[in-house]
Structures are given as structure tokens and as C-alpha cells.
Structure 1
Amino acid sequence: MNLLPPLLIPRHQLTLALHESQTKAEVYDLAVVGGGATGLGVALDAASRGLRVVLVEADDFAKGTSSRSTKLVHGGVRYLAQGNISLVREALHERITLLRNAPHIAQPLAFVVPAYKWWEAAFYGIGLKMYDALAGSAGLGPTTFLSRSETQSALPSVQLKGLRGGVQYWDGQFNDAQLAVALARTAAREGALLLNYMKASRLLFTQGKVTGLACDDVLTGKAYAIHARCVVNATGVWVDALRAQDGQHQHIVAPSQGVHIVVEAHFLPGSTALMIPKTSDARVLFAVPWLGKVILGTTDTPRDDLSTEPLAFEEEVDFILREAARYLRVAPQRSDVKSIWVGLRPLVKPPDDESENTKGLSREHTVLVSRSGLVTVTGGKWTTYRAMAEDVLQKCADSGLLPQRQGLTDHLPLVGAETSSIAMQPLSAPQGLHSYGSEQTWVQQLPGHNVFLTGGLSEAMVRFAARYEYAVHVEDVLARRSRLLFLDAGLAMQLAESVGRLLREETGLDPDVNGFLKLAAQYQL
């Protein structure tokens, strides 16, 4: 198979391209603000349609919510219970599309719901059979009823007292930050210009219409003006800040905090996930094998502030550990937590809604076009990022901001997806060279491919991140190009100096080692 080499992305060339477009007063078709799942999806979709696209992100790609998900590509079993059939059907279609377009990043995963009451297996099994029916030919595997011994075999560490059996069903799992970077790189291959660490400071207007962005390069302090026919605000929980510049002061987002705890794999050995459909507060709890560890979560707690690094509340940590203890024979303690991370979900707030109950708020996405032409998109979830992007571009076309063109991303493989000759490993296995898919050969050709720092991270992987994956800071590498900060914060801190040295060699920029060490301390209990 003839594989293209990775697209080299030196920072100075990206800013030079932006400077040249500013000097020539060139006008982009589309300027996207926000480098999370939604913004990157919009940029890729638009670029694949032949539009001239620029995307700016104030921090690193997927710095916020998009790197802090539960790592599930799913139709949404709980949405089915709420009767939201259309959302589930759309998500199930997008689930199989994502698994097809990025098999090195997203894979099927078996889940087991243990039954401790006589009615639970039948009750949940019927609902999950409906889930299968909605998936149709896009299903990943049939729902099956398990005996007590079969449930124990699938979940070796499950609590046996009172166990009657279980139900197994299938959904998907992925590496969210890796997918974000793959979207950025695929969009760049399609001709888009994407810049992380480029802050959109204000909107530009001409005769009352939004016509571009004033941006500041976070790394150099230089200012740029971007002119575009259409501007999309895809900043997640922060969309209201940009809307306020457009004179729109009603908040449309009610942030909800989700906490995840990571423990060693022995608490849930194997490659099957545990799903508890109804916790003591009527939420869903997952225990998911991921990259050699186990993720426990998540919570759903309203909060008013919009910190880029929100901290877990003590009661959230206690809740997760307490619920896990009900279903695992050996319950993890606070001392067993290797990393803890928090994300803010951008839940769409109905007009004049003052409710603090986020479970009742919409998980669907919303696309709005203001009188000035600012397009805002928020809500949704990772699984439906591609469908969200299509909806955004359709709204732009319907509003006369962009031309009507057919979308192409339904069958557009992402970089690294040419994996027919690559041995795949499940995402429950530790992150390694296999996670690069068809690009692992290029990693092996870089200096230091046999020099491993620890945690499965080689010097070549750091160099690859700097040359081809937009990485600038230690945090970019240890939090998102590799996921070590999210897996073992203490170990990540030990590698900071070594990674910083390699990044400085590659980029000539300050890798911000001290900033990372301060951040990583917040990921420990």
C-alpha cells in the first residue's frame, strides 16, 4: 500500500501563511473559532468541500471538554430510556461511521450490565434489544443474556454477592484527543489552515455584519486580522462570550461538570466494560478499560464558572468511589487513584430556564445564526461531531453565507486509517506504536524510535508530535498526543523535563515545563 508521508506542520510556516493572507487582504470562505470536536469537524467538512478554511484555537486542540470525555462512541442508552429516539438513531449511524473512518482510534467495546434483582436482566435486556433494533445493519454485536457464571467470566472482579446474571451489549470506544488531532491533520491535508495557540480576541464587523476575526498569537504576541465570508463560533461551553461581542447577552449554555477517576487495570481486568444503568442518584456509571487502566465515571454537576481546568468536588470523588464499591469485589480507595480529570459539558439551555437540574437539559446540539451573520454551534457530543458539522454548513448555506455543496465526510478516512496491513490492538491495551495506525512506520524512522522514556512513550513519538501533530508544550504531548497525564499524573510529572528537552530541540520554543508540573499536580488526589 502506497502511503503518503505525514504533512509537516512547522509553527512558523503556519503563521507565515496567516501573515501572507492578511497582507494580501485575502478573504477566507470560513473562519472557525474553537479547536474542539465541533470546530475541527466543521473545518474538515468545509475543507473537503473545497472551501477556503481557517481555524483558530486559543489553547491546544481538544484542551477543553473534547479531551475529557468518557471515551465512548455510543448511541446513548440513557437517551433511549428518555424516549429520544431520533438522537439515538443519529448517534448509532455516526458511531459506525467513526469506527469505519478511524479504526486505529475507535473500536467496538463490549459492555456488561450485572443483574442483582430478579427483574433487572429482563428489563435492561429488552431496552438493549431495542437499541440493537435501532442500530440495524450498523450494529456492532447482538445483545445477549448472561448467566451468573458468564457474567463473572466477562467481569472477573464483579461483586458476586446477590449476582443473578447480566446482559451484554456493544458500543464503541475511542481516544478522544487523538481523534481531535487526526481531524486537524486531515483538515490540513484537505487544504485548511489550522492554528492552535491563536486566540480570537474580537469579532470584526463591516456595516453591521461579521466579516472576520482579530487574533493574537499566544506564543509570539503578534496580532493578525482574518477576513472571512462566514464566522463559526464553536467554542463549546464558552460560546456565550463570543456571542456577547455580537450583542447577544442571553446565555444559551448551562455547563455541567463530569468527573472521571482512573485506577489500575486489576480493579477491572480484561477488555469488557461495566455499565451501571441507575446509580443512587439515577445516573449511569461506567467502569471502562482504557489504554492499560480503568476509567470510573462520570458525574453530572451544575457549575457556574467556566474554568479551563475545573477541579473535582470532594463529594463527586466520594460518589464515584462509593458507587464503584457496590459493584466491584475489591473497591478502589482514594489512594488508588492514578489520575482525576474534569470536563465541562455544554448543555443547551432553553430560553429563560433557571433550572439547576442538568439531567433535564438537552444533549442535542443547537445551531444559531445571528442578525450579523455570526454562526454559533454548541451542545451535542463527540459521537455526533460529524453530523453536527454537516448541520452547521447546511445552516450557513441556507443563510446565504456559504455556497451549497455536497458533504464528503461520511466516507472520508482520517490520517492513519489505512490499516489493512496493520495489526490492531484493543484500546484496553496500553498506548503504543500501534495507535498510530498506518503512520507507525513514519514514527519508526525518526531519531530515538528505540529510546523509551517510560510509560510506552519514545523519543521518536515526542518528535513526531512536534513535527506533525501541532505539539508545542509539554502538556500537549503528555496530556493529549500521549494520554499519560490522564492515565498516571505522577508518572507524567516524572517525564516533563525529558519531554521538554526534546520539544525545545524540535521547535525552538519554550515547552513550559513548570506550567505542566503545576497542572499535573491538580490531577492527583
Structure 2
Amino acid sequence: MLSRKQHLEAVKQKASAGFEWDLIVIGGGATGLGSAVDAASRGLSVLLVEANDFAKGTSSRATKLAHGGVRYLAQGNFSLVREALEERGRMLMNAPNLVKPLAFVIPVSSWFQKMFYWIGLKMYDLLAGKLSVGPTRTMDRQSVIQAVPTIRQDKLGGGVRYFDAQFDDARLAVALMKTVFKLGGVALNYLPVVGFDKESGKITGVKVRDAFTAHEMSLKARAVINATGVWVDELRQLDNPAAKPMLSPSQGVHVVVDQHFYPAQDALLVPKTSDGRVLFVVPWLGKTLIGTTDTPRQDAPFEPNALPGEVAFILTTAGQYLATAPTLADVRSVFVGLRPLVKQGGAGDTKSISREHTIATADSGLITITGGKWTTYRSMAEEVVNLVCRQLALRNKPSRTRMLRLEDDLPNRNPEARLHPRLQLTQAEISQAVLEEMAMTIEDVLARRSRALFLDSAAALDCLFSVRATLQDELGWSDAELDRQEMQFRALAAQYGV
């Protein structure tokens, strides 16, 4: 059993005894979890604290693709593409249960288009080198129809097929969390940082508050990493109110519909939409995932809403390529992720901002890492922990994550024991989430340990009472606490619906 209560109590005892961690990582998304795994793999004493749940923010709301970035190749950013393709290969090797190769079909209307994309994607293959997933090939018209039976056939002149990979982002975050513990580190959710302890202007630790009990304590650390994604500026300003924002957040909306709209094993890539982005139509966990948008935001809410027109844009664009166009009534779920894009000279168009990451050290010693994307989480983590080791004069502590197998056990799914006909969720999966994966709330189970909310928000609501009963039996939550969680989840499910 992976018990938050027991590990939190152990941390409290260490704090009372004046224990000093080598490293405290703030943020339980891809970058924070990756950094904690990397540090623990080197033998550092490491504690990760997350204000909400692991992968609560951006890291559970991706397009579920581990990719080098075909669009970045078109922008000429070869170094980013090469790094991402190498890391894609490592994800496939290190978490083979959670990351799988996926073929993509690009439909074309002319021979010129076919050659244009084939040449570009052959370069993509070359940049991947020995870690290539599969070869790029041209397709005639009939081959495209065979691969994508529901594609619109008017103006279809053939296509190009290339390979990337697919993964479940929230499940990979859980795998990273478990790996932290396996390596001797500690990761705790629902433990927000509310302040910093300092001596002579330098950070010596963090003040945290238990989200469930409001108990506060100070935790000593030799180094602190701020890996809070789109919220890094809030933490930087908690350290220094005069810190200037470094992010230009944008949001990406995803729409989920039933599988019959796209009963294919290969994904579909629309290479250029009317707003200059790419659009993916991807088979995912028995549903069809369509996205995404790129809309600048001035704020960074924990639960961003799709803005007016974003869902309509996705459905309209998908309808230009699918024989049966999904409508608003067909949408099972809508989810929105925020991208932590690093500002570049006041660029107003977030599509043009690089997805590369940035590491910055404040005068207080607070190390901030932000930007990047899921695919490069491991290399980002290695780079920032290298910096920590240099600053702490820790020599002979190399990263061991390049070939580190993650704790990527899959949830227990028996098709005959499903709780809802439109979901794969079982009672065994709920129990596993609570007992072995540190799920603390109804939302944790239905949004991230399973993906029920993301796949079908109405069906997820129908499973609420099974989750509630398990939480009460295993964690001893009171009726009042579970009433609070239920109210929050019902509001969230309404937001994910249309």
C-alpha cells in the first residue's frame, strides 16, 4: 500500500528532527516528477511536494503524443526535433507498457503535396537515427481509404504515412511518482508551498500546508526547484514580489467523441489548419481524440474553460476530413490544457513561440525550470539536476535515467467487470488507485488514475458513488468531506461536458 498518510507522517518526523533534504522539488507534473526521479536515481535525498494532485494541470491534458514535433521541423528548429526524437525513443524503452508506436496518415490532394511531406518526414526519420520508430512511406488513394475508412474521399489524392508514439500522460505521471518512491525519494500530493524559509536572503527551505488538515510545517533543503508549469511565476513572486513574469501561457482544447467517427488504428494529421496549426485525430482508449488549439491567455486557472469558438473550430476542421462530421451533440468530453511558453521578445502569437525550456536561478537560490513538453521531460530533468549537483558541489553523481525502467504497471481492467458500458473502468481499478497510487479524491480517481472524466464526462458521473464508497472504506473520509468532493466533481464534470 502506498499511503500518503504514512509518508506525510514520516516527513513530519524528519522536519521535527531538523532533517535537511538535498533537494525539494515543487510541482508534481511531468517536469517536477522527472526531476525527482533523476535526483533520486543519483542517490540524493529528495522530496517532491504538489499543491493539488499529481499531473492535475497541464501534464494530464496533453494530446497524448510522444513526438519530435513535425511542426517544429517545418520551423527549422532541428535541435529541438532531434532532442525530442531521442527522448521519444527513451520513453518507448523505459515505459513500454504506457508508450506505444503510432502511425500517422497525412492526406494529400496532389502529387506535389505528397512529395513535399514525404521529403520532410524522411528528414524526420533521419533525425531520429537508431531510435526511429518506423519508416515514412507514400500512400496511394486506396491505401489511405483502407487505413482510414471514414475519411472524406473527395479531393483525396493519396497520403503519407509516418510514425511517432502515443502515451497516457496522467498514467505516466503516476509511473514517475511510483518510481520516485522505488528509488528512495518521497512524493506527496495536496501539500502546497505557502512560503520560503531564508537566511541572509538565501532559501533554506519551504513552508508547506496540508490541504486536508491545514497543518503547516517548515522543511529544510539544500536546494529547491520550482517546476510548477504555468504557475512558476506565482512561486517566483512568492520568493520575490518584484520578479517579472517569464511566461506567455496559451491553451489547447481537445474534444473527445465516440470511436465510430474514426474506427482506425492509425492517427490522422491535418498538416495545416485555417489558423496555421496542425490538427490530430487520434484513437485513444476506445474513443477518438481531436485537437488542438493554440489560444493566448493572460491568466492561468487550474480548470480553464474552452473559449467561445474553440470547440466549433475543432469540429469544423475535423468535418473537412471525416465523412461523418461530429457535432456538438456527439462530444463526450472537452478538456483544456495550458502550455507554459517562455516569453520571447514580446511575441504575441503563441504558435510562433518555441517549445524549448528555460532554467533560471534567482538571487535567493530558487531554481526555476519551465517550458518544454512531455516528450522532453527526462532530458529537462537531467539538465536541471545537473545544475543542482554543480551548485551543491556534488561530484560523481551522474544521472541514471536514460535507461531507467519506470514503474509502469497498468491498471487492473477486466472487460467483464466494467462499471459503465461506455468506459473501461472497473472496481478493481478504483481500489488500485486508492490503495497503490495515492488517489485522495473522487476527481483523482475519475480524472487521472482512470481517464473516465476525459473520455466521457457523463459516464464518469455514473461511477461517482462506487469511487465515493471506496474512498470512505479505505481512507476513512467523513460524509462531509466526501460531500465536498462530490460537489466539486459534479461541477467539474459539467465543465467537461458541453
The secondary structure found in structure 1 opposite 2:496 is coil
CA RMSD of aligned residues (A): 1.4
1:130-145 aligned within 5 A:
130-145=123-138
Could you say which residue in structure 1 is the equivalent of 2:259?
Answer: 265
The secondary structure found in structure 1 opposite 2:192 is strand
Corresponding position: 1:397 with 2:363:
no
Structure 1 residue 403, shift from structure 2 partner: 4.7
Q: 2:419 aligns with which of 453, 466, 484?
A: 453
Structure 1 residue 399, shift from structure 2 partner: 2.9
Post-superposition Cα deviations, 1:215-235, rounded to whole Å, max 9, x if no partner, equal: 000011111111000000000
Q: 2:108 aligns with which of 100, 104, 115?
A: 115
Post-superposition Cα deviations, 1:345-395, rounded to whole Å, max 9, x if no partner, equal: 000113xx3332101212001111112111000000000000000010112
Corresponding position: 1:307 with 2:273:
no
Residues 489 and 524 of structure 1 are in contact (CA less than 8 Å); yes or no, is this contact kept in structure 2? yes
1:318-329 aligned within 5 A:
318-329=312-323
Structure 1 residue 10, shift from structure 2 partner: 1.4
Which is worse superposed, 97-106 or 247-256?
A: 247-256
Could you say which residue in structure 1 is the equivalent of 2:454?
Answer: 486
The secondary structure found in structure 2 opposite 1:204 is strand
**Distance in 2 of aligned mates of 1:9 and 1:23:** 23
Could you say which residue in structure 2 is the equivalent of 1:78?
Answer: 71
Gapped runs of 5+ residues in structure 2?
none
Q: 1:10 aligns with which of 3, 17, 26?
A: 3
Could you say which residue in structure 1 is the equivalent of 2:492?
Answer: 519
Q: 1:204 aligns with which of 193, 197, 209?
A: 197
Structure 1 residue 63, shift from structure 2 partner: 0.3
Structure 1 residue 244, shift from structure 2 partner: 1.1
**Distance in 2 of aligned mates of 1:450 and 1:483:** 18
**Distance in 2 of aligned mates of 1:482 and 1:400:** 39
Which is worse superposed, 12-21 or 384-393?
A: 12-21
Structure 1 residue 514, shift from structure 2 partner: 1.7
Letter in 2 for 1:396: V
Letter in 2 for 1:307: P
Residues 229 and 402 of structure 1 are in contact (CA less than 8 Å); yes or no, is this contact kept in structure 2? no
1:404–1:348 distance in 2 versus 1, CA, 3 Å: farther
Aligned length: 490
Residues 100 and 167 of structure 2 are in contact (CA less than 8 Å); yes or no, is this contact kept in structure 1? yes
Structure 1 residue 404, shift from structure 2 partner: 5.0
Could you say which residue in structure 1 is the equivalent of 2:369?
Answer: 377
Q: 1:182 aligns with which of 175, 178, 183?
A: 175
Could you say which residue in structure 2 is the equivalent of 1:344?
Answer: 338
The secondary structure found in structure 2 opposite 1:41 is helix
The secondary structure found in structure 1 opposite 2:175 is helix
1:394–1:252 distance in 2 versus 1, CA, 3 Å: same
Residues 37 and 180 of structure 1 are in contact (CA less than 8 Å); yes or no, is this contact kept in structure 2? yes
Gapped runs of 5+ residues in structure 1?
1-7, 418-434
Structure 1 residue 460, shift from structure 2 partner: 1.6
**Distance in 2 of aligned mates of 1:488 and 1:394:** 41
Structure 1 residue 246, shift from structure 2 partner: 2.5
The secondary structure found in structure 1 opposite 2:149 is coil
1:200–1:231 distance in 2 versus 1, CA, 3 Å: same
**Distance in 2 of aligned mates of 1:251 and 1:12:** 35
Q: What is the TM-score when the length of structure 2 is the normalising length?
A: 0.96
Q: What is the TM-score when the length of structure 1 is the normalising length?
A: 0.91
Corresponding position: 1:238 with 2:231:
yes
Which is worse superposed, 137-146 or 389-398?
A: 389-398
Residues 101 and 411 of structure 1 are in contact (CA less than 8 Å); yes or no, is this contact kept in structure 2? yes
Post-superposition Cα deviations, 1:216-262, rounded to whole Å, max 9, x if no partner, equal: 00011111111000000000000011111222521111100000000
Structure 1 residue 14, shift from structure 2 partner: 1.4
1:404–1:344 distance in 2 versus 1, CA, 3 Å: farther
The secondary structure found in structure 1 opposite 2:204 is strand
Q: 2:84 aligns with which of 80, 83, 91?
A: 91
Post-superposition Cα deviations, 1:21-77, rounded to whole Å, max 9, x if no partner, equal: 111010000000000000000000101111000010010000000000000000111
The secondary structure found in structure 2 opposite 1:453 is coil
The secondary structure found in structure 1 opposite 2:181 is helix
**Distance in 1 of aligned mates of 2:331 and 2:426:** 25
Could you say which residue in structure 2 is the equivalent of 1:147?
Answer: 140
Corresponding position: 1:218 with 2:211:
yes
1:409–1:14 distance in 2 versus 1, CA, 3 Å: same
**Distance in 2 of aligned mates of 1:143 and 1:450:** 39
Post-superposition Cα deviations, 1:86-145, rounded to whole Å, max 9, x if no partner, equal: 111111110010011111110000000000133211111110000001111110110000
The secondary structure found in structure 1 opposite 2:244 is coil
Q: 1:362 aligns with which of 350, 354, 369?
A: 354
Could you say which residue in structure 2 is the equivalent of 1:167?
Answer: 160
**Distance in 2 of aligned mates of 1:224 and 1:501:** 31
Could you say which residue in structure 2 is the equivalent of 1:229?
Answer: 222
Letter in 1 for 2:329: S
The secondary structure found in structure 2 opposite 1:119 is helix
Which is worse superposed, 90-99 or 502-511?
A: 502-511
Post-superposition Cα deviations, 1:172-201, rounded to whole Å, max 9, x if no partner, equal: 000000000100011111111111000101
Which is worse superposed, 201-210 or 243-252?
A: 243-252
Percent identical: 50
